[in-house]
Amino acid sequence: MRVSQRVKKILDNYDSDSPGTKANIARMLATGRLAGTGKMVILPVDQGFEHGPARSFAPNPAGYDPAYHAQLAVDAGLNAYASVLGMIEAVADEYAAQIPLILKMNSSNSLSRAKEAPSQAITASVDDAVRLGCAAIGYTIYPGSDLAFDMIEDLRDLIAEAKAKGLAAVVWSYPRGGSLSKEGELAIDIGAYAAHIAALVGAHVIKVKLPSDFLEQPEAKKVYEKQGIDISTQAARVRHVMQAAFNGKRIVVFSGGAMKGADAVYQDAQDILDGGGNGQIIGRNTFQRPREQALEMLDKIIGIFLGKVRHGEVAKAAE
């Protein structure tokens, strides 16, 4: 594993961490076609828990096989593959040495009732991650949920254990629940707040959704307007989220979200790059497509992050 000067500079932002943890952060940054650039594209496949098998994999039935996703991540030249315990156990023996694995530690499901107090069950342990050769643990928090404090306390304990055992921590920070409006879940003030909370609790890599220009909190809206914070474009909003993540001193990757058109996916990648984000964590928009289409999409996304092509050229080629 060759660590570039760019990666070394990023690692300097984690100076309180052990050599083991920093080595695992470096593993993710030094793997795949984006190795050494400070950019990351990660494939997450935890949707079977969240949405059920048919909603997740029926559009591309090959995805029912856990090995399909790990091989897709390897063949596409991605930085890491993230999934839940059973999926990681099914592939770790073959793939742990080929690509960094992230063990998603908690999950929800669409059968539960939780509007004001959404939460997730802890479904794996840090020792599972060590046993399976993972580079990192992953965990979701729901800022805004009536159960958010419980989730954050559990996360803090898990991060402390992961760091003690030389692993990195990836935090999905998804605002929902409580008094948040549906529009507020993607509001820029809420999204930046969610990234900041993840950084404060000790995350090494933060996963958030791309925010809209909506402002949810009246008191925050006053500050945004008074200070003239630019939220006019998606790239500007990415830049603001990076500010909230310790002024860019924490790695932030942005979610691909639900299945959408290829042009929108490429625009997201371009805006993340232009806004100074570290990359994308993109699942359904790739694995729900046939394999060759998924590989083509990931190739173009990586091309954008490498600066080899801008979105306008990608869009034209996709027509």
What string of DSSP letters covers 208-266? EPPP-S----HHHHHHHHHHT---SSHHHHHHHHHHHTTTTTSEEEEE--S---HHHHH
Which residues form the catalytic set? 174, 207
**pTM of the entire predicted model:** 0.95
pLDDT digits (tens, 9 = 90+) for 19-47: 999 999 999 999 999 999 999 999 999 98
Closest CA relative to residue 184, chosen from 211, 208, 219, 147: 211
Split at pLDDT 50, 70, 90, the class of 285 is: very high
What ranges do the domains of the chain cover? 40-318
Report the DSSP pairing between strands 121-122 and 106-107: antiparallel
Q: Is the pLDDT of residue 316 over 70?
A: no
Give the per-residue pLDDT at 278.
Answer: 98
313 — pLDDT class (breaks 50, 70, 90): low
Burial annotation 233-251 (CB, 10 A radius, 16+ → b, else e): ebbbbbbbbbebbeebebb
> What average pLDDT does range 253-273 have in this prediction?
91
- Residue 247 tokens read as 């002024």
114 pLDDT higher than 90? no
- What digits encode the pLDDT tens for the residues 192-234? 999 999 999 999 999 999 999 999 999 999 999 999 999 999 9
| 319 pLDDT above the threshold of 50 | no
Q: What's the pLDDT at 51?
A: 87
| pLDDT tens string 123-154 | 999 999 999 999 999 999 999 999 999 999 99
pLDDT at 253 over 70: yes
Of 254, 258, 255, nearest in space to 55 by CA: 258
The CATH architecture assigned to 40-318 reads Alpha-Beta Barrel (3.20)
pLDDT digits (tens, 9 = 90+) for 158-186: 999 999 999 999 999 999 999 999 999 99
Q: What is the pLDDT of residue 314?
A: 45
What type of residue sits at position 264?
Answer: A
Q: Which residue has the tokens 């600066």?
A: 307
- What element of type H or E holds 122? strand 121-122
Q: What is the pLDDT of residue 318?
A: 46
Q: What is the mean pLDDT of residues 107-123?
A: 88
**pLDDT tens-digit series, residues 43-90:** 999 988 888 999 999 999 999 999 999 999 999 999 999 999 999 999
Q: What is the pLDDT of residue 2?
A: 83
